[in-house]
Amino acid sequence: WTATRDKSCKLPMPKGSMGFPIIGETCHWFFQGAGFHASRRQKYGNVFKTHLLGRPLIRVTGAENVRKVLMGEHSLVTVDWPQSTSTLLGPNSLANSIGDIHRKRRKIFAKVFSHEALESYLPKIQQVIQETLRVWSSNPDPINVYRESQRLSFNMAVRVLLGFRIPEEEMHCLFSTFQEFVENVFSLPIDLPFSGYRKGIRARDSLQKSIEKAIREKPLHTQGKDYTDALDVLLESAKENNTELTMQELKESTIELIFAAFATTASASTSLVMQLLRHPAVLEKLREELRSCGLLHDGCLCQGELRLDSIISLKYLDCVIKEVLRLFAPVSGGYRIATQTFELDGVQVPKGWSVMYSIRDTHDTSAVFKDVEAFDPDRFSPERSEDREGRFHYLPFGGGVRSCLGKQLATLFLKLLAVELAGGSRFELSTRTFPRMISVPVVHPTDGLRVKFFGLD
Ligand code: HEM
């Protein structure tokens, strides 16, 4: 990687520090978490240089700068994950595809998240959430919400999205291997025994083996529109687009979908539980909304069939989820590489440099949000809609041609969880104070968030 300035460009380089040789500032980043970027942004400005995960990097904050990066896909930048992420996700993943191949793959995937497909996943997602809350409530001890939310989002991805029926014992093994994979997706690309990178490769190979077995044993229903899971939809969609997916493509797509859903959804679920605990008035207002549309009656959730449209019509619920994702955006940003030298905030981004656009810092520093640190769901109400000022001030799901494909699914999952928490559960914080949040690899509480859940009497 050339970390030099473009001499033909008159603009100065961004300010910043490149840290130590080879490792750069990677260790500072791991240990400082969110504070790493915030401290450097305060010192060097919205566009600063650093050196992370084995490469020089320009970190970009602020709606206007982020807009230029995201809308510059193909002309100014293209996707460029750290080497570890790229190798572990594989050449057939969406994350690693560019240009027409990316467009074609996204088209195939789009059907997996269509309104019709989501409607068909809804009852199963609801069932997985209800079963999980029942297990949490029957446990006499407090639950580590972050750890158990990881299990919940993993179950959701494996059972609901992929339709795998895996015995409990194997599911535990698969979950541990998956955690090992995720922990090492962002690691220094040094392939030595016991290195994170090597552990990640081993975990990936083992996952691919188990997934191949599950795909071969899975009954496929690709006839008609009566979908059972996302894998069926994916295969049907590929057929409609005159594409046959190879086993290797299927395995990589499967791991990519679980990866994309796993840590992000677990992080957001934990933040949701924490904010409902911190803000009883918000929880009560949610209950009021459920009562007013007949979903909550005499303190109990009505067990009738919940439709996607009824969930979408709950406006306050929508504000709550949006606010959780604003204040605790699970993904801190996305990686790109400059395909030509360009200007950003008065400095040059030289061709060949990695660029990381920042989501959380952009939310935290955006002037459109009043009292930016306050948890205030009503800021997204139709009367206030503070996010209307421009779409790059609020971007928990990224933006442009690489925005999150699972956005609607993730939102539906979080809304269903909030409905079950508000309507069907009682829960209390088990520690004296709320934990501190850390942000690597995704936002989560230092102690996982200890909460005692009770069933409804
Ligand atoms: C991409 C956030 C859940 C599938 C992204 C990106 C963000 C994001 C910020 C763009 C990264 C970039 O610009 O490089 C989130 C958040 C989630 C969530 C905050 C939960 C709260 C999900 C779920 C799925 C999913 C549940 C699918 C099961 C994807 C895929 C991409 C993506 C496939 C890559 C799109 C592409 O490269 O074209 N997500 N995500 N995400 N997400 Fe999500």
Q: Average pLDDT of the chain?
A: 90
DSSP one-letter code for 427:
E
Range 396-414 burial, b when 16+ CB lie within 10 A, else e? bbbbbebebbbebbbbbbb
CA nearest 47: which of 344, 404, 392? 344
Residue 389: count of CB within 10 angstroms of its CB = 14
| Alpha-carbon span 401 to 391, nearest angstrom | 14
Which segments in the chain show pLDDT lower than 70? 1-3, 33-34, 220-227, 303, 456-457
Annotate 30-55 with DSSP letters as a single string.
HHHTHHHHHHHHHHH-SEEEEEETTE
Instruction: State CA 7 to chain mean position distance.
Output: 38
| Tokens 């994702």 belong to residue | 325
pLDDT digits (tens, 9 = 90+) for 69-88: 999 998 999 998 888 999 99
Annotate 257-273 with DSSP letters as a single string.
HHHHHHHHHHHHHHHHH
| Alpha-carbon span 348 to 9, nearest angstrom | 7
Which protein residue's CA is at the shortest distance from atom 33 of ligand 1? 405
Which protein residue's CA is at the shortest distance from atom 24 of ligand 1? 406
CA nearest 16: which of 26, 1, 39? 39
User: Assign residue 253 a region: left if phi > 0, alpha if psi is -120 to 50, beta otherwise?
Assistant: alpha
Report in angstroms the alpha-carbon separations of 274 from 66, 341, 380, 451. Answer: 29, 43, 19, 9
Q: State the pLDDT at residue 81.
A: 86
CA nearest 116: which of 211, 224, 272? 224
Q: State the pLDDT at residue 336.
A: 95
CA nearest 161: which of 107, 118, 108, 106? 118
Q: How many residues does the chain have?
A: 457
Q: State the pLDDT at residue 1.
A: 45
pLDDT digits (tens, 9 = 90+) for 152-208: 999 999 988 888 888 888 889 999 999 999 989 888 889 999 899 999 999 999 999
Model-level ipTM above the cut of 0.85: yes
| Tokens 């590489």 belong to residue | 337
**What's the half-sphere exposure (Cβ side, CA atoms, 13 Å) at 448?**
14
Q: Which of 124, 256, 264, 328 to mutate to test the pocket of ligand 1 (most atoms within 8 A of CB)?
A: 264
- β-partners of residue 47 are 60
Based on the number of CB atoms within 10 Å of its own CB, is 205 exposed (0-12), middle (13-18) or buried (19 or more)? Answer: exposed
Report in angstroms the alpha-carbon separations of 360 from 42, 81, 332. Answer: 14, 18, 5
Which protein residue's CA is at the shortest distance from atom 26 of ligand 1? 261
Pocket lining: 265 vs ligand 1, CB cutoff 6 Å: yes
Q: Give the position, in ligand 1's atom list, of the atom nearest the Cα of 409.
A: 26
Q: State the pLDDT at residue 330.
A: 95
Q: State the pLDDT at residue 456.
A: 63
CA 345–ligand 1 middle distance (angstroms): 27
Q: Give the position, in ligand 1's atom list, of the atom nearest the Cα of 230.
A: 28
CB 421 within 8 A of CB 273: yes
| Alpha-carbon span 70 to 336, nearest angstrom | 9
Distance from first CA to last CA of the chain, Å, rounded?
62
CA 253–ligand 1 middle distance (angstroms): 13
| Alpha-carbon span 269 to 321, nearest angstrom | 10
